Amino acid sequence: MIVLDTNVLSELVRATPDTRVLTWLDALPVAETATTAVTVAELHHGVARLPDGRRRVALHHAVRAMLDDDFRGRVEPFDRHAARAYAHVVADRERLGRPISVADAQIAAICRARGATLATRNTKDFKDTGIELIDPWQVRRAGSPVAGPGSSSGSRASVISRARPAARAMPASRVQQSTADPAPVPP
């Protein structure tokens, strides 16, 4: 399973999403991707902190449609297994002198508890958490990652910490269709 981090899902609701991310997602099986309850909270928080107006309403609809339609049944919770993994993620990073935010530690713990790969642009934030990472912004085409910042080669291992089978996310065409949800913005 590949878990999509907040920055990957945020990219999908941008007015002009990065084509590298869309291409990468289009090449992956939808059923093998998921996100986390933490990411859902971060997305809703991002919308809630915007000033009232059209942009907030549009983003609310886009986020809600994406989560309700494209990720129904594929939002991984922070459960007791993740809570146990969380303790190790935080302690490991503390021992390295590299504290981690609560939200990032929870996302890493959910991935670690499920043996999932995390797709994120912020790979440095998740380094040394015991999970596999992939940066969709650094992939030439599906299955062909390129070296990320600070890496010395274009090998698969330079973008993905440890090799994992490829998975798929929602087609980009569904992202564009999902922005028409007429639900009201909650207070």
CA distance 65 to 75: 14
CA distance 109 to 6: 15
Query: What string of pLDDT tens digits covers the 187 residues of the chain?
Result: 999 999 999 999 998 999 999 999 999 999 999 999 999 999 999 999 999 999 999 999 999 999 999 899 999 999 999 999 999 999 999 999 999 999 999 999 999 999 999 999 999 999 999 999 999 999 865 444 433 332 323 332 223 232 222 333 344 444 333 333 333 334 4
CA distance 185 to 187: 7
Question: In degrees, to the nearest 5, what angle opens at C-alpha 119 toward C-alphas 77 and 131?
Answer: 70
- Measuring CA to CA, how many Å separate 88 from each of 20, 46, 120? 33, 28, 21
Q: Output the known binding site.
A: 5, 104
What pLDDT is attached to residue 77?
98
Ordered domains of the chain (ranges, CATH): 2-179 (3.40.50.1010)
**118: β partners:** 3, 133
Listed in sequence order, the residues at least 6 apart from 165 whose beta carbon sits closer than 8 Å to its beta carbon are: none
Contact 108, 129 (CB under 8 A): yes
CA distance 100 to 21: 25
The bridge status of strand 117-119 relative to strand 2-4 is parallel
What pLDDT is attached to residue 149?
33
**Best CA proximity match to 141, nearest among 2, 8, 23:** 23
Q: Output the known binding site for Mg(2+).
A: 5, 104
What pLDDT is attached to residue 185?
39
Q: How far is CA 76 from the centre of its chain?
A: 12
What pLDDT is attached to residue 32?
92
What does pTM read for this prediction? 0.75
Print burial letters for 64-93: b (CB count within 10 Å at least 16), e (below 16): bbbbeebbeebebebeeebeebbebbbebb
